[in-house]
Amino acid sequence: MNLPLENIKVLDLTRVLAGPYCTMILADLGAEVIKVERPYTGDDSRAFGPYVENESMYFISINRNKKSITVNLKSDKGKDIIKELVKKVDIVVENFKPGTMERLGLGYDTLKSVNEKIIYAGLSGFGHYGPYSSRPAYDGVVQAMGGIMSITGQEGGEPTRVGSSIGDIFAGIFGAIGILSAINKRKVDRLGMKVDVSMLDCQVAVLENAISRYFATGKSPVPMGNKHSSVVPFEPFSTKDGKIMIAVGNDNLWLKFCTSINREDLKKDGRFKTNLLRYNNYDYLRPIIQKELIKKTTKEWEKILINEGIPSAPINNIEMLVNNEQVIARKMIQQIKHPKAGRVSIPGVPIKISGCSDDIRFSAPVLGQHTEEILKEYLSISSDNLEIMRKEEVI
């Protein structure tokens, strides 16, 4: 079976993370993604470490399955190239600060007049309207404003940024969902549309029950460390040689858990009979559980708990994660061959679709690797004209 998006062509004007993550999802699903970069320097993230053979692993990890061309968007000829390519593609994705594309003469209204079926996705810090629309943003700024830092970290400690750049990544994921929805709608009315995704909006959307807790209590939630806000026990505990995460998500699991730790008496203890009671009596319950778990190693407890059907896991570091048998079985670490960096390992494709390969088709491109190929194939530009454009620094 062909990949789901093999008939879709994407003009990718994005850089750094939110936009490239979005277009990586589309590329993984089979779309032909033409990544447009600045001549000479390219995407900002090409300058982000770590490096292998002077190639950015940051860039390589989020730009697989794409083709790179270089176009100077500030030159008239460069803008003409973009407009001509827009006639040939289905989707344009950009993550400039709102207003930048309009100043370049490449905003949605202009591109829609070139191709009425174009789906235009703009990913930005605060969206294409609203009082903060023109503000610059990076992941840390959005995590701070978006509230997630205020509920992350140790109890009584400082607000903490989440270790992964989830401000960017969620915008990329929601951007891909919006684009796929627009593709489906276009099948009905045969018209394109604009998809406007704000990193701040995405942070609000993923705050889970924190916003609900605020409206229910009138109080802003605060960091709770590894404790769950409403489920007990649901946190790591120390073992004889380390720590193990345990998630007892309902009352039936609680009964099994009591058996697992050889504390049948806890089943009859009125303080712990329901999750609400366990939550209200957390300060009594936690030391009881901890006293039992310290008696065995993490591996011993993992085997016991999994055999009883209790959700649990050791707290892996990254080395442990990438060598985990489940991660390996699902090909979530794949090795690719990069033209300059050679063989490197990167995260695999998380969307598994029956009948479709989840192999990474090809590595992230070197800067401008496909300029000649794309401009000849899509726009029938001759080698002589390409050479003139290079001298004029158009490409």
The catalytic site residues sit at: 228
Q: Are 267 and 322 in contact (CB under 8 A)?
A: no
Helix or strand holding residue 275 (H, E): helix 275-280
CA atoms within 13 A on the CB side of 49: 2
Q: Which two tokens stand for residue 119?
A: 């789906």
Beta strands across the sheet bearing 243-247 = 234-238, 243-247, 312-314
| Beta carbons within 8 Å of 80's beta carbon, 6+ residues apart | none
The DSSP call for residue 175 is H
CA angle 206, 209, 212 (to 5 degrees): 115
Q: How far is residue 389's CA from residue 161's CA, in Å, rounded to a whole number? A: 44
Q: Are 65 and 362 in contact (CB under 8 A)?
A: yes
Q: How far is residue 191's CA from residue 210's CA, in Å, rounded to a whole number? A: 38
